[in-house]
């Protein structure tokens, strides 16, 4: 993409309404614009990041054996009456009345609706286990939306629902998702620590929240040092029968948020306990027949009896992750995107567009890299070099390649690693080869 044609409005000033780094940087780097309190539109570069995060989440759900579908945003209030949640959910539910006066709502979550879809079409134990997920916009009418997309009202969530014939199967589904979540966050370059959690308004017996570490995180967290050396990418979520055992290195050690951590009762020696700050990016629940029983979602078992299906639900805050990743990865100059979610991999800077040689080299590089499938943002604007470097630092692409007259005299392009700040000089061919290897 040529920056001269790209709708990427960046600003130097820190917007007064933004209190935390991710909110400030998402506005300054042109990722989002607020439409109303807690409601954002995604500009092109923000949407690219959102889609990359969504795609990683999707791939890991598919790998775990979940099937993608898509439920509507607007739901009928009747379903929520069956489970009693229409009255109990409170003011965070955005209630809507249609032109005929029928009570509807903008879905804040989908346990009730998926249970309805399940009971309509699934009859037999032979169809289980089953996991269904969707990636859809949700609405929670927060009383005080703030922190940008971190606590917005309209937000993009991936929510998965599992269906099993008994508690043993449901535990397997639960830990399958547990493994998928560890892999999902690791692929985004994040260190995610699962913490036993309260089940809150979703209900149920077993629950973990996944917290990523960020100096500017919303809550204080305490965890055993052993978490720092764990790598989940060897986990295979398809091995249902052994997955609970496989994730034990993540479930056995101590980890807790400040809400539940009690220093006096903590079983971990001070030397082994790490204190940090974290942001919740995922939450998983096993809640048995909490919804299937009142909604009469039963299956026939092998012995002919029928029983309510055992369920769990598993959420990832997709739009929240955009903010959370920035909280975990930025400096005073701007965002530092992990490669897996970066909107472009390389920023190509033409330091002097009036210089024919610079422009010819840039055009050739831009063409060659795109042909090879490298995602390049080409700053072809007629601006000062300093402004161009500042823009690239702000938007945080993993690599910057600066083409200027002095470098070309020596036959080199200066390449900077945004995360480490390391600079090296490379010939054009070497740069292309390195980017496409």
Question: Interface with a copy of itself by CB under 8 A: which residues?
Answer: 5-7, 9, 30, 33, 35-36, 39-44, 46-47, 50, 65, 67-76, 79, 91-92, 94, 96, 98-99, 102, 104, 106, 113, 116-117, 120-122, 127, 130, 132, 137, 139, 141, 143, 153-154
Kindly list the distances between the CA atom of residue 393 and the CA atoms of 353, 369, 424, in Å, as whole numbers in the listed order.
Answer: 20, 21, 17
* Smallest gap from residue 154 Cβ to a copy of itself (A): 5
Residue 369 beta carbon to a copy of itself: minimum distance, rounded to whole angstroms: 18
Angle between helices 318-328 and 21-28 (to 10 degrees): 100
CB of 294 to a copy of itself, least distance (A): 18
- Nearest CB to a copy of itself, comparing residues 113 and 408: 113
Q: Which is nearer to a copy of itself, 31 or 211 (CB)?
A: 31
Instruction: Kindly tell me which of 70 and 252 has the beta carbon lying closer to a copy of itself.
Output: 70
Contact 325, 57 (CB under 8 A): no
- Using CA atoms of 67, 71, 76, 77 in order, give the dihedral in degrees to the nearest 10: 60
With respect to a copy of itself, which residue has the nearer C-beta, 139 or 337?
A: 139
Min dist CB 160 to a copy of itself, Å, is 13
Smallest distance, a copy of itself to C-beta of residue 68, A? 6
Question: Measured from the CB of residue 208, what is the shortest distance to a copy of itself in angstroms?
Answer: 26
Nearer to a copy of itself, 102 or 225 (CB): 102
Q: What is the closest distance, in whole angstroms, from the C-beta atom of residue 355 to a copy of itself in the complex? A: 21
Closer CB to a copy of itself, residue 110 or residue 257? Answer: 110
In terms of Cβ atoms closer than 10 Å to its own Cβ (0-12, 13-18, 19+), residue 144 is: exposed
18 Cβ contact partners less than 8 Å away, ≥ 6 residues apart: 24, 27, 148
- CB-wise, 6 or 254, nearer to a copy of itself? 6
Q: Can you list the positions of beta strands (E) in 214-328? A: 219-224, 255-257, 273-288, 298-300, 306-308, 310-317
Confirm if 132 and 67 have CB atoms less than 8 A apart: yes
Least CB distance to a copy of itself at residue 344 (A): 14
d(CA 341, CA 395): 13
Q: What's the closest the beta carbon of residue 43 comes to a copy of itself, in angstroms?
A: 5
Residue among 150 and 328 whose Cβ is closer to a copy of itself = 150
φ, ψ at 280 (rounded to 5°): -75, 125
Element of type H or E holding 378: strand 376-379
Residue 212 CA to residue 276 CA, distance in Å, equals: 10
Nearer to a copy of itself, 161 or 222 (CB): 161
For 130, the 3-state DSSP assignment is: strand
C-alpha distances out from residue 185 to 5, 57, 233, 255, 299, Å: 33, 8, 10, 17, 34
CB of 94 to a copy of itself, least distance (A): 7
Question: Cβ(195)–Cβ(208) under 8 Å?
Answer: yes
CB closer to a copy of itself, 47 vs 385: 47
Q: Please name the residues in contact with 73: beta carbons below 8 A apart, sequence gap of 6 or more.
A: 106, 107, 136, 137, 138, 139
- Interatomic CA distance for residues 364 and 362, integer angstroms: 5
């Amino acid at each position: 993409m040529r920056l001269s044609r790209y709708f990427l409005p960046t600003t130097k000033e820190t917007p007064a309404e933004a209190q935390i780094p991710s909110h400030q940087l998402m506005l300054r780097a042109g990722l989002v614009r607020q439409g109303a309190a807690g409601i954002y539109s995604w500009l092109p570069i923000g949407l690219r990041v959102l889609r990359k995060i969504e795609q990683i989440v999707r791939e890991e759900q598919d790998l775990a054996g979940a099937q993608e579908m898509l439920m509507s945003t607007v739901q009928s209030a009747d379903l929520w009456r069956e489970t009693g949640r229409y009255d109990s959910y409170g003011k965070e539910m955005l209630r809507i009345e249609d032109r005929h006066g029928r009570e509807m709502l903008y879905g804040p979550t989908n346990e009730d609706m998926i249970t309805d879809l399940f009971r309509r079409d699934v009859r037999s134990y032979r169809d289980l286990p089953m996991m269904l997920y969707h990636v859809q916009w949700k609405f929670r009418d927060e009383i005080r939306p703030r922190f940008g997309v971190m606590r917005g009202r309209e937000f993009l969530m991936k929510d998965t629902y599992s269906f099993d014939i008994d508690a043993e199967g449901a535990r397997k589904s639960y830990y399958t998702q547990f493994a998928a979540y560890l892999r999902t966050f690791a692929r985004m370059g994040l260190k995610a620590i699962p913490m036993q959690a309260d089940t809150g308004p979703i209900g149920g017996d077993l629950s973990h929240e996944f917290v990523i570490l960020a100096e500017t995180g919303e809550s204080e967290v305490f965890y055993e040092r052993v978490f720092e050396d764990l790598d989940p990418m060897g986990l295979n979520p398809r091995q249902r029968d052994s997955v609970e055992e496989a994730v034990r290195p993540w479930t056995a050690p101590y980890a807790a948020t400040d809400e539940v951590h009690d220093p006096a009762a903590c079983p971990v020696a001070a030397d082994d306990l790490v204190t940090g700050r974290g942001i919740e990016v995922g939450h998983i629940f096993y809640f048995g027949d909490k919804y299937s029983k009142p909604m009469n979602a039963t299956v026939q078992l092998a012995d002919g009896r029928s029983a309510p299906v055992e369920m769990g639900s598993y959420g990832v805050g997709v739009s929240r992750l955009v903010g959370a990743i920035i909280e975990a990865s930025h400096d005073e100059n701007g965002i530092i995107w992990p490669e897996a979610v970066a909107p472009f991999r390389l920023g190509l800077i033409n330091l002097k567009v009036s210089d024919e040689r610079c422009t010819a080299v840039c055009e050739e590089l831009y063409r060659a890299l795109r042909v090879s499938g490298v995602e390049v943002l080409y700053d072809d604007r007629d601006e000062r070099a300093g402004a161009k470097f500042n823009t690239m630092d702000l938007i945080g692409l993993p690599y910057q390649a600066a083409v200027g007259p002095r470098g070309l005299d020596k036959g080199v392009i200066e390449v900077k690693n945004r995360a480490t700040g390391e600079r090296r000089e490379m010939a054009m061919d070497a740069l292309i080869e390195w980017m496409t290897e």
